[in-house]
Structure 1
Amino acid sequence: MQIGIIADDFTGASDIALTLAEAGFRVAQFNGVPDTAAEPGLQAGVVALKSRTAPVDQAVAESLAACDWLLAQGCGQIVSKVCSTFDSTPQGNIGPVLEALAGRLGARHIMVCPAFPENGRSVYQGHLFVGDRLLNESGMQDHPLTPMTDADLRRVLAAQTRWPVAHVPAQVVARGSDAILAALPETPAMVIVDAIRDADLFTIGTAARDQVLLCGGSGIALGLPANHGAVRAEPSWDPVSGPGVVLSGSCSRATRAQVARFRERHPSIEVSAQAVMNGSVTAEKLADWVLGQAGVPLVYSSADPQAVLDAQQAFGREASAHAIEMLFARLACILAENGVSRIVVAGGETSGAVVSGLGARVLYIGRRIAPGVPLVHVQGRQLALALKSGNFGDEQFFETALAAMEGGR
Structure 2
Amino acid sequence: MLIGVIADDFTGGSDIANTLAKGHAPEGGLRTAQYAGVPTGSAAPGIEAGVISLKSRSAPVEEAVTQSLAALDWLTAQGCEQIVFKYCSTFDSTDDGNIGPVAEALARALDCRGVVVCPAFPTAGRTVYQGHLFVFDRLLNESGMQNHPLTPMTDPDLRRVLSAQTSAGVGLVPHPVVGAGASALRKALSDMSHSFAVVDAISDDALLTIGEAVDGAALVTGGSGIALGLPRNFIRAGRTQGGKTPFAPVKGAAAILAGSCSGATRGQVAHHAARHPTLAIDVAGVMAGAVTVEDVVRFVTEHAGQAPLVYSSGTPEQVGTMQSEFGREAVSARLDALFADTARALIAQGYRRLVVAGGETSGAVAQAVCDTLSVDAMGIGPEIDPGVPILNLGDAPVLLALKSGNFGTPDFFGKALAMMEHGA
| TM-score w.r.t. length of structure 1 | 0.98
- Is 1:4 equivalent to 2:4 in the alignment? yes
2:340 aligned partner:
329
- Is 1:137 equivalent to 2:152 in the alignment? no
Post-superposition offset of 1:182: 1.9
Aligned with 2:218 (options 203, 212, 232)? 212
Could you tell me how far apart the structure 2 residues matched to 1:361 and 1:300 are?
A: 26
Aligned with 2:367 (options 346, 349, 356)? 356
Could you tell me how far apart the structure 2 residues matched to 1:20 and 1:13 are?
A: 11
Post-superposition offset of 1:272: 2.7
Post-superposition offset of 1:381: 3.2
Structure 2 SS opposite 1:70: helix
Could you tell me how far apart the structure 1 residues matched to 2:360 and 2:184 are?
A: 38
Post-superposition offset of 1:379: 2.5
- Is 1:379 equivalent to 2:394 in the alignment? yes
Is contact 1:364-1:379 (8 Å) kept? Answer: no
2:195 aligned partner:
189
Could you tell me how far apart the structure 2 residues matched to 1:252 and 1:156 are?
A: 22
| TM-score w.r.t. length of structure 2 | 0.95
Give, as a single letter, the amino acid of the residue that structure 2 aligns with 1:368: E
Aligned with 1:243 (options 248, 253, 256)? 253
Could you tell me how far apart the structure 2 residues matched to 1:131 and 1:361 are?
A: 35
CA shift digits 1:242-293 (9 cap, x unpaired): 1111100000000000000000001111113211100111111110111011
Of 105-114 and 41-50, the range deviating more from structure 2? 105-114
Is contact 2:107-2:219 (8 Å) kept? Answer: yes
1:293 aligned partner:
303
- Is 1:398 equivalent to 2:409 in the alignment? no
Could you tell me how far apart the structure 1 residues matched to 2:60 and 2:19 are?
A: 29
Could you tell me how far apart the structure 2 residues matched to 1:247 and 1:70 are?
A: 31
**Map 1:71-150 → 2, pairs under 5 A:** 71-150=76-155
Structure 1 SS opposite 2:41: coil
Of 44-53 and 268-277, the range deviating more from structure 2? 268-277
Could you tell me how far apart the structure 2 residues matched to 1:257 and 1:355 are?
A: 23
Post-superposition offset of 1:232: 6.0
Q: CA RMSD in A?
A: 1.1
Is contact 1:22-1:232 (8 Å) kept? Answer: no
Is contact 2:171-2:194 (8 Å) kept? Answer: no
**Map 1:153-192 → 2, pairs under 5 A:** 153-184=158-189, 185-192=191-198
Is contact 1:3-1:45 (8 Å) kept? Answer: yes
Is contact 1:342-1:385 (8 Å) kept? Answer: yes
Unaligned runs of 5+ in 1: none
Give, as a single letter, the amino acid of the residue that structure 2 aligns with 1:7: A
Give, as a single letter, the amino acid of the residue that structure 2 aligns with 1:300: Y
Could you tell me how far apart the structure 2 residues matched to 1:302 and 1:118 are?
A: 25
Is contact 2:171-2:192 (8 Å) kept? Answer: no
Could you tell me how far apart the structure 2 residues matched to 1:380 and 1:368 are?
A: 21
Total equivalences in the alignment: 409
Could you tell me how far apart the structure 2 residues matched to 1:370 and 1:344 are?
A: 13
- Is 1:32 equivalent to 2:34 in the alignment? no
Is contact 1:9-1:51 (8 Å) kept? Answer: yes
CA shift digits 1:211-244 (9 cap, x unpaired): 1111100000000111101566443310111111
Is contact 1:234-1:367 (8 Å) kept? Answer: no
- Is 1:225 equivalent to 2:240 in the alignment? no
Could you tell me how far apart the structure 2 residues matched to 1:263 and 1:32 are?
A: 33
CA shift digits 1:119-166 (9 cap, x unpaired): 111001111111111111111010000000111111111110001110
- Is 1:261 equivalent to 2:271 in the alignment? yes
Structure 1 SS opposite 2:291: coil
Post-superposition offset of 1:188: 3.9
Structure 1 SS opposite 2:165: coil
Give, as a single letter, the amino acid of the residue that structure 1 aligns with 2:15: D
Could you tell me how far apart the structure 2 residues matched to 1:249 and 1:136 are?
A: 22
Is contact 1:118-1:371 (8 Å) kept? Answer: yes
Could you tell me how far apart the structure 1 residues matched to 2:357 and 2:99 are?
A: 23
Could you tell me how far apart the structure 2 residues matched to 1:378 and 1:271 are?
A: 27
Give, as a single letter, the amino acid of the residue that structure 1 aligns with 2:14: S
Is contact 2:3-2:83 (8 Å) kept? Answer: yes
CA shift digits 1:64-114 (9 cap, x unpaired): 000000000000110000000000001000000011111111112210100
Identity between Structure 1 and Structure 2 (%): 56
Could you tell me how far apart the structure 1 residues matched to 2:195 and 2:390 are?
A: 37
Give, as a single letter, the amino acid of the residue that structure 2 aligns with 1:399: G
Could you tell me how far apart the structure 2 residues matched to 1:188 and 1:88 are?
A: 21
Structure 2 SS opposite 1:159: helix
Give, as a single letter, the amino acid of the residue that structure 1 aligns with 2:137: D
- Is 1:338 equivalent to 2:343 in the alignment? no
CA shift digits 1:290-313 (9 cap, x unpaired): 101141110000000001000110
Could you tell me how far apart the structure 2 residues matched to 1:139 and 1:283 are?
A: 31
